[in-house]
Amino acid sequence: MTRCVACFLSRVSACLFQTMSDKEKKRFHEMAEKDKKRYDTEMQSYIPPKGEKVTGRGKKRKHIKDPNAPKRSLSAFFWFCNDERGKVKMLNPEYGVGDIAKELGKKWSDAGPELKGKYEAMAEKDKARYEREMTAYKKKQKDGPGVCAPAVVAKKAESDEEDGWEEEDE
């Protein structure tokens, strides 16, 4: 409701401004120029918060992502999409990215609880992995800079467990 009122007010203001004479418009142009100068002087002394950088005038701040941070977990739907995307592509080679996504969405909504359960279990396992890696990452951040990322350490530990052998100290 508020958005409609704002749109209406914007339209009315635009109509009023268009019907003004140049002499009447001059006052508003001067106010805008004065405000622009004030903004520019304030922005010269502006210091962005830590961890963010200003990408340009009038643009939103971009959060700087840590490349060592662990990858986020995938949802059940994304696990489903990873498995089914190739099949949908093979059956419909003329489909574009959007069409494939629509088809996958339809398949997911039509999927039964047993199929969804399989992917939800995968998502839970991935979520546990992410939380485990994130706690290790945060602990490492508190301790100070390290040699390699927690994601790399966790993957190495998992591969060692799968191989069935452990390193021995010499």
Q: Give the pLDDT of the chain (170 residues) as one tens digit per residue.
A: 567 888 888 998 888 888 989 888 899 899 999 999 999 999 888 887 776 665 656 667 777 888 889 999 999 999 999 999 999 999 999 999 999 999 999 999 999 999 999 999 999 999 999 999 999 999 998 887 554 544 544 554 454 444 444 444 43
List the chain domain ranges: 76-159
- pLDDT on residue 166: 45
SS (H, E, C) the chain: CHHHHHHHHHHHHHHHHHHCCHHHHHHHHHHHHHHHHHHHHHHHCCCCCCCEEECCCCCCEEECCCCCCCCCCCCHHHHHHHHHHHHHHHHCCCCCHHHHHHHHHHHHHHCCHHHHHHHHHHHHHHHHHHHHHHHHHHHHHHHCCCCCCHHHHHHHHHHHHHHCCCCCCC
Give me the residues paired with residue 156 across strands: none
**In this structure, which topology does domain 76-159 adopt according to CATH?**
DNA Binding (I), subunit A (1.10.30)
Residue 52's pLDDT is what?
A: 66
Angle formed at CA 29 by CA 25 and CA 30, multiple of 5 degrees: 115
Q: For residue 62, list its beta bridge partners.
A: 53
